[in-house]
């Protein structure tokens, strides 16, 4: 894990990032990124890499050997396990990110590992860093600027132009690291965070210190975009979402914990 010191950062997204795609500027999930606002954060730790298939496999093996389910969220149905779904052989490499997870799986894995899910603000701070605003973890230039690939996503001209048709082994794009040295915060696997989604939360926010999101909701936030996301969807500010029960071949997790 990487220690993220207390500090301030700019949370949210800028409207001008959609200047080349005006038709998307006012889509509800993109409008939900605005306005950009300064947030104060306490210190925390976050995983340097996304949880891998090998790590998640150990979790499933532990569950098979011990019926203890104390790590489960109270709202998870007791008759539902944590098996992955929609994970074909090309996604099963030990160092590839664990995908096919819903929010309850992500929550339980982090608890089992002695950690927790990051909040959306923690995730975004770890990706962007303090100081100047960054569109992507590495800065404001395109993911392939100068012929250097910084993320596993779906670029124009072909899904495998970045070197991978499917998810990449974690840490495969060192030039895409965040200011804190966190890897793959753009693309590869969407990452579940703790927060419920509120499309209008930033517009009426009154808490700008360690925000934890709404107290309730129907959809959880996903951050970072995936291996099938375009350049806009792998921006730090992008707020994807899904119901806690939703599983897809694009959804994974990284964990956080307190100092």
Mind listing the pLDDT tens digit for each residue in 71-97? Answer: 999 999 888 899 999 999 999 999 999
| Mean pLDDT computed over 94-106 | 98
> What pLDDT score was predicted for residue 183?
98
Residue 220: per-residue pLDDT: 98
Torsion of CA 155, 184, 218, 100, to 10 degrees: 80
Range with the poorest average pLDDT among 39-43, 159-163, 192-196: 159-163
Tell me the pLDDT of the chain averaged across its residues.
95
- CATH architecture designation of domain 1-75+100-259: Alpha-Beta Complex (3.90)
For the chain, the structural domain boundaries read 1-75+100-259
How much is the pLDDT for 115? 98
Which segments of the chain are extended strands (E)? 2-4, 7-11, 37-41, 44-46, 190-196, 220-223, 240-242, 251-252, 256-257
In the chain, the percentage of residues whose pLDDT exceeds 70 is: 100
Contact 50, 188 (CB under 8 A): yes
pTM of the model: 0.96
Confidence of residue 194 (pLDDT cuts 50, 70, 90): very high
pLDDT bucket at 131, cuts 50 / 70 / 90: confident
Q: Is the pLDDT of residue 205 over 80?
A: no
19 band by pLDDT with thresholds 50, 70 and 90: confident
- In this prediction, residue 67 has a pLDDT band, given cuts at 50, 70 and 90, of confident
Most confident of 12-16, 33-37, 100-104: 100-104
Is residue 124 within 8 Å of residue 237, measured between CB atoms? yes
CA distance 122 to 128: 10
Cβ-contact 51, 118 below 8 angstroms: no
C-alpha–C-alpha distance, residues 57 and 204, integer Å: 41
CB of 173 closer than 8 Å to CB of 197 = no
Mean pLDDT computed over 133-155: 96
What residues form DSSP beta bridges with 11?
Answer: 37
């Amino acid at each position: 894990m990487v220690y993220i010191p207390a500090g301030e950062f700019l949370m949210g997204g800028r409207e001008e990032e959609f200047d080349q795609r005006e038709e998307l500027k006012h889509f509800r999930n993109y409008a939900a990124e605005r306005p950009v606002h300064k947030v104060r954060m306490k210190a925390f730790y976050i995983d340097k890499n996304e949880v891998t298939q090998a790590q998640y496999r150990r979790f499933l093996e532990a569950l098979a050997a011990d019926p203890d389910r104390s790590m489960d969220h109270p709202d998870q149905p007791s008759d539902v396990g944590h098996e992955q779904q929609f994970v074909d052989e090309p996604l099963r490499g030990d160092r590839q990110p664990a995908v096919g997870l819903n929010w309850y799986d992500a929550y339980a894995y982090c608890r089992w590992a002695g950690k927790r899910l990051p909040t959306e603000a923690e995730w975004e701070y770890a990706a962007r860093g303090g100081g100047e605003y960054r569109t992507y973890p590495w800065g404001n230039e395109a993911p392939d600027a100068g012929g250097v690939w910084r993320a596993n996503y779906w670029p124009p001209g072909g899904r495998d132009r970045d070197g991978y048709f499917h998810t990449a082994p974690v840490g495969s794009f060192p030039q895409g690291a965040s200011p804190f040295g966190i890897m793959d915060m753009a693309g590869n696997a969407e990452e579940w965070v703790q927060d419920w989604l509120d499309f209008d939360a930033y517009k009426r926010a009154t808490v700008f210190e360690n925000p934890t999101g709404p107290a309730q909701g129907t959809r959880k936030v996903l951050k970072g975009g995936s291996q099938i996301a375009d350049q806009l969807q792998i921006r730090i500010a992008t707020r994807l979402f899904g119901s806690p029960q939703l599983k897809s071949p694009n959804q994974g997790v990284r964990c956080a914990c307190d100092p």
